[in-house]
Structure 1
Amino acid sequence: MAFRAPRRHRHCGGSVTAGPENRCLPDPTSNTASRTRSTAIIISAKHGQSPTDPADLKRVPDAPIIAAVNAAWTAAHPGAGALVAFSTDDDGMLWWLSDRSQAAADFVKNYLLTHDAAGNDISGSPITVSASGLTQVYAGAESAAYFGVPVSDPRHPDIFGIVQHGVVYTGGKGKIAEHGGAGFQDRNVPILVVVPGMRQGEQIGAQVETTQIAPTILRLLGLNPYALQAVQIEHTQVLPGLRRH
């Protein structure tokens, strides 16, 4: 049967509309107050950006760093190929090496922490950062332990570098912030919750995580949060202040 567009019907009141079968349908704007009293809103973000203050920005091209590490490796190991097989560097450094031995990872760690790198600030003026822009490097088994996986797991990077605050690895001068690292500004985001009946303007200073949003939604819908496997495994709690709902 062909669908007929909704239209006014002489037997329908002013707040209803005739549907495709000439049935009277409620006006979607007539119960706004009811929806407001029964709708919860949760606003957050999957990650932050760093640095939040442009004055702290230190752009550092990572290509010259990778090239220098590869050159140092081949100089120390004649006949060897490039050591860095794959990299993803934003405001963190994650490298996978062609030689996945602990010795190779330690070689890279030592090089990164003992060599400066050139970059530029928010205005594009040249700067120099120490230790390749890093504060700490997890190499080989250290990286596996950081990510909570066995050393034999090929997914973990051989090198995981924690950047100095404000460092963003980029070859240009356009970026003003990045994400993907382990900095405070990367990993801390606001969570705004509006729930009917909840006191307005209340601030809860307890440590929470965005993983708590999913079980909170289930609780607000009257469903069991522990129906989620991740909640069962990680014992994720509903957001504080909402447990009574």
Structure 2
Amino acid sequence: MNRLFRWVGAGALLGSAILPAAAAQADNAQGHDQGNRSSAIKHVLLISVDGLHEQDVARCIGANTCPNLALLAKSGVTYTNAYTPGLSDSFPGLAALVTGGSPKTAGLFYDVSYDRTLYAPADTGCTGKQGWNVVFDETTGIDAQGGGALIHLDGGGAFNPDAIPRAKVGSKCVPVFPHDYIKTNTIFEVVKQHMRDSRTAWADKHAWGYDWLNGPSGRGVDDLSRTEINSINPATGKDYTDAYQNTEIFDNFHVNSIINEIDGKNSTGTRNAPVPTLFGANFQTLSVAQKATVATGGGYLDASFTPGPQVTAAIAYVDDALGKMVAELKARNLASSTMMIVTAKHGQSPTDHTKLVKNGDTLTALLEANNYLDPDGNFGQNNNAKALNDGTGLVGTGLVQTDDVGLIWLRDQSQVQAAVATLKANLSCNAPGICADGPQAYILSGPRLASMFGDPSNGRTPDIIVQPNPGVIYTTSQKKDEEHGGNAPDDSHLGLVVSFPDGHFHGERIGRRVTTTQVAPTILRALGLNPNELHSVKVEGTPVLPGLDANN
């Protein structure tokens, strides 16, 4: 059986790709290993560029300021109407790409979240109170233990034990590492399980917080680069997010990792290794440039996504990086067998800075003032002694996580209706309002929230989600003019280019609305695997991207 993608003309829409999907599913049902069958696509390279809007892609291709991305688009499909699945923090954004699922099945809402079923890291017997503020970010590496400085690029080479909560499993009290925290499997695990002699690799921004990419098995990614963006750059004495030029230095670690892997080495280039079947990396330079204030040249100049100086430079940097990867694929005779996907975990909001509102964290203040949370931030790990994940966070307090969205885990779940009533009575932007009085703002709770994100009574899903007016950031910070995490248009409308190693393809644009969850099943289908091997795909019914299969 040949799982070759065959492209034929189809007018304005992408030509049909004749894929033996039914036969592939039958093989899986019989327990056959598809990894030893032939396929034109033998490698998939997935690149996530944080902050890459669809408008960024359209603008730079139109202006010829991203020639390498334009060439990828010319040999593939550009989806002009791609969106995240409801939330746009890095965790749910990347989970969408690698699990095929929304937070409802993947269980990832933010890198800082809450789980009512978990115990504190120090509660080794699981005998105390439940309800832990889970923080899987730069402080998940051992460098951060006890509030320590992040002095190593690899986060110190191990987990911070104070960052790892515990769960009761039968009669045992076990640690919950990030790979235990995700509730569904990943494409890396499926590839490892069903493709003989396959290898997987990924590079991201936090050395230990992104351990969840391994999936529940803990072994999905053979080569997970341990790179920490918040570690101290020896050249500057500051972390790599201080300015977009410093972030380029960090992203170059990932470029080098990919090139090493294309060259048949591990990510560090220190030993030989097979070229990964599935590999990829995340880029942060564009995100940092977008967040920078307009006064310093950051962000965009108008509502039409005209990039400011920093964003212009960041897009040029990313495009150059893409060109280096493609050139290396060609040099190693791998371009004809590698599918390349360029997209994003999330966008950034607001690109139109006339809509920017920074009144402070009025959402948390309103909840505290009405006794739904302890006052003065006295909840979760906001009240610990030294720093996040130092092991002294409070248990059972609930949590509010805000950026340009508000995720609310109440201290007392019986107060949901009362809390929602309080929020709805204070929708305006005037004190003490939460600035959620516009047509694109909403407050989710009850059955509607449960339908979209899962039942809060199970312990992980927030009780209430507040999406404020587009442009609102719950902060007074003078260091950033854009953020992400919610479902505002600029957060969620992303660039998505799928480039195929097939000479018959001349670049197509598909305007049908899709979600980034469809990337994962598309990758598996391209490699000849059954997308339903992903639990989230099976439960949520996530289809492959349209136009790539005769059946869609």
Show the counterpart of 1:113: 427
Q: Which residue in the other structure is 2:547 paired with?
A: 241
Question: How far apart, CA to CA, are the structure 2 residues paired with 1:30 and 1:95?
Answer: 45
Deviations along 1:5-58, one digit per CA (max 9) or x if unpaired, are: xxxxxxxxxxxxxxxxxxxxxxxx897374222221111111111112233221
The TM-score, its normalising length taken from structure 1, stands at: 0.67
Equivalent runs, 1:32-47 vs 2, <5 Å: 32=331, 34-47=333-346
Shift of 1:183: 1.2
SS in 2 for 1:40: strand
Residue 211 of structure 1 and its aligned partner are, at CA, apart by 1.4
Matched-pair contact (CA < 8 Å) for 2:449–2:464: no
- Secondary structure of residue in 2 paired with 1:95: strand
Question: Which deviates further from its counterpart, 232-241 or 162-171?
Answer: 232-241
Alignment correspondent of 1:134: 436
CA RMSD of aligned residues (A): 3.3
Distance apart, 1:151 and its partner CA: 5.3
Question: Counterpart of 1:161?
Answer: 466
**Structure 2: distance between partners of 1:239 and 1:30:** 24
Q: Following superposition, which runs of at least 4 residues in structure 1 exceed 6 angstroms of deviation?
A: none
Report what 2:351 is aligned to.
52
Contact 2:456 2:463 in 1 (8 A): no
- Which amino acid in structure 2 is aligned with residue 59 of structure 1? K
User: CA–CA distance in 2 between the matches of 1:98 and 1:55?
Assistant: 36
Q: CA deviation at 1:139?
A: 6.2
Is the helix fraction higher in 1 or 2?
Answer: 2
For 2:514, what is the secondary structure of its paired residue? coil
Superposed displacement of residue 144, structure 1: 3.9
Which structure's CA Rg is the greater one? 1
Residues of 2 paired with 1:65 and 1:238: CA distance?
A: 38
Q: Which shows bigger deviation, 203-212 or 193-202?
A: 193-202
After superposing the two structures, state which structure 1 stretch, 219-228 or 201-210, moved more: 219-228
- Aligned CA distance change for structure 1 residues 229 and 174 (closer, same or farther; 3 Å): same
The alpha carbon displacement at 1:179 in A equals 0.8
Residues 209-218 or 102-111, more deviating: 102-111
CA 1:142–1:105 in structure 2 vs 1: closer, same or farther (change >3 Å)? farther
| Map of 1:18 onto structure 2 | none
Matches within 5 A, 1:75-224: 82=375, 85-100=398-413, 101-113=415-427, 116-117=430-431, 131-135=433-437, 136-138=441-443, 140-141=445-446, 144-145=449-450, 147-150=452-455, 152-197=457-502, 198-224=504-530
One-letter amino acid of the structure 2 residue matched with residue 173 of structure 1: Q
Residue of structure 2 in register with 1:66 after alignment: 364
Identical counterparts, % of pairs: 36
1:108 deviates by 2.6
CA distance in 2, matches of 1:53, 1:115: 18
> Matches of 2:505 and 2:452 in 1, distance apart?
39
Distance 2:528 2:539 in 1: 21
Tell me the alpha carbon deviations over residues 127-159 of structure 1, each in whole angstroms, 9 at most, x when there is no partner: xxxx42113453652674364433533433333
The one-letter code sitting in structure 1 at the alignment partner of 2:446 is A
Superposition deviation, residue 202 in structure 1: 1.2
Gaps of 5+ in 1: 1-28, 119-130
User: Structure 2 regions of 5+ residues with no counterpart?
Assistant: 1-327, 380-397
Q: Contact (CA 8 Å) 1:92, 1:160: kept in 2 or not?
A: yes
Structure 1, 188-197 or 107-116: larger mean CA deviation: 107-116
The number of equivalent residue pairs is 198
SS of the counterpart of 2:510?
coil
2:542 corresponds to which letter in structure 1? T
Contact 2:342 2:498 in 1 (8 A): yes
The amino acid of 1:70's aligned partner reads E
Contact 2:403/2:475, CA 8 A, preserved across alignment: yes
Q: Is the 8 A contact 2:403 2:483 kept in 1?
A: yes
